[in-house]
Amino acid sequence: MRKWLWMWLGWMTANAAGWAVTALLIDVMPELNSMLGLALVATVQWVPLRRYVHGSGVWVLVTYVAGFGGSLAGLLFLQLLGLPPDEALGFGPNALLWAVDGAVIGLAQAFLFRPAPPNRFVWAAASALGFTVAAPLSMLVRLWTGSAVMDWPSSLVFGGVSGLVSGAGLIWMLMQAPGRGIGLSTRL
């Protein structure tokens, strides 16, 4: 059980650090956009997952492409609903945008787990839920700091909270894989 706790803590730390460093880099180098920052986040995420997913290059590429597609899908979804994204107090629209983005990223990443856990598509739901819970909390931090953009404190909160929530789904999913669980799901 300790192994899974360390994995969860590693996942939360990787997400928090990846998102915060991305925001710091964007602040220092404005020409770097958040999509390139997602590649950094994915690289850091791969570290605690390296035994459970295909190579880091594949994880980073899939996360990057899915992040772009998820952001686009989220914006189109909000446009379809007639909701404006990223208003200072637009908690609902932003949570929806991040939910779609998290679901698309999680769905794409679900195909990379090896051996494929029987419930690997739970990862898409866990990723979406993590992004959905983290988005409004991150926006509260932005309001508190008076920042108009995702700065490092709000990104740190976003990464940590999304890692906390999605990490629970990640651990549950990985424990269901044959030979990886604590005895209940191990097949003979």
Burial classification of residue 51, based on how many CB atoms lie within 10 Å of its CB (0-12 exposed, 13-18 middle, 19 or more buried): exposed
Q: Is 64 inside any structural domain?
A: yes
Host domain of residue 106: 2-175
Q: Is 119 inside any structural domain?
A: yes
Q: What is the pLDDT of residue 185?
A: 33
Q: What is the pLDDT of residue 55?
A: 77
Q: What is the pLDDT of residue 103?
A: 96
User: Computed from CA positions of residues 175, 181, 183, 188, in that sequence, does the dihedral angle turn out positive or negative?
Assistant: positive
Q: Which residues are CB-neighbours of 105 under 8 A, at least 6 positions away? A: 63, 66, 67, 70, 127
Q: Is 180 inside any structural domain?
A: no
Q: Which residues are CB-neighbours of 54 under 8 A, at least 6 positions away? A: 112, 114
Q: What is the pLDDT of residue 82?
A: 83
Q: What is the pLDDT of residue 176?
A: 83
Q: What is the pLDDT of residue 34?
A: 67
Q: What is the pLDDT of residue 186?
A: 32
List the pLDDT tens digit at each of the 188 positions of the chain: 788 899 999 999 999 999 999 888 888 877 677 667 788 899 999 999 988 887 778 999 999 999 989 989 988 988 888 877 655 446 667 788 889 999 999 999 999 988 888 888 999 999 999 999 998 899 889 889 888 777 899 999 999 999 999 999 999 998 887 765 443 333 32
Q: Is 186 inside any structural domain?
A: no
Q: What is the pLDDT of residue 182?
A: 43
Q: Is 103 inside any structural domain?
A: yes
Q: Is 187 inside any structural domain?
A: no
Contact 170, 38 (CB under 8 A): no
Q: Is 141 inside any structural domain?
A: yes
pTM value > 0.95: no
Question: Distance between CA 185 and CA 91 in Å, rounded?
Answer: 39
Domain count, the chain: 1
Q: Is 184 inside any structural domain?
A: no
Q: What is the pLDDT of residue 180?
A: 58
